Amino acid sequence: MKRFVFIVGVAVGYLFGTASGRRLLERLRVWGADVWADPRVQEYVQEYEAQATAFAKQQGTALWEKAVDAAKSATTGSTGTYDAGTLVEPVLDADDANPGTADIR
């Protein structure tokens, strides 16, 4: 593992510390931009963006429903209406979290 870290450090030093390394980095940047602009790559990007959007919409709806159910159950008593007696005070507040520290401003 130490040898791997050393080799990576030498490679990074070469790329950022020498003129020929910076030229290599520039060629890699241009190559990467060309690959990204390739229409075949962009087809895949658009396909996966559409899948991710559909998944996010599906999961967002499910999460919204769970959040609404949790909020309703937290604010309703056994009768199904709001009951202030079911609310619990917080165990710690900001002053209890750091006892003995002064508010310095």
pLDDT at 59: 85
**What's the average model confidence in pLDDT over 25-34?**
95
Give the model's confidence band at 40: pLDDT under 50 very low, under 70 low, under 90 confident, else very high.
very high
Helix (H) / strand (E) element for 66: namely helix 39-75
Distance in angstroms (rounded) separating the CA atoms of residues 16 and 33: 20
Contact yes or no for 82/76 (Cβ under 8 A): yes
Map out the domains of the chain as residue ranges: 1-37, 39-73
Distance in angstroms (rounded) separating the CA atoms of residues 9 and 3: 10
Distance in angstroms (rounded) separating the CA atoms of residues 66 and 37: 41
Give the model's confidence band at 62: pLDDT under 50 very low, under 70 low, under 90 confident, else very high.
confident
3-class DSSP state for residue 81?
coil
pLDDT at 13: 94
Distance in angstroms (rounded) separating the CA atoms of residues 11 and 49: 34
Give the model's confidence band at 58: pLDDT under 50 very low, under 70 low, under 90 confident, else very high.
confident
Helix (H) / strand (E) element for 29: namely helix 19-37
- Beta-carbon contacts of 86 under 8 Å, excluding residues fewer than 6 positions away, are 76, 77
Question: What are the tens digits of pLDDT across the range 72-104?
Answer: 888 775 555 555 555 555 555 555 555 655 555
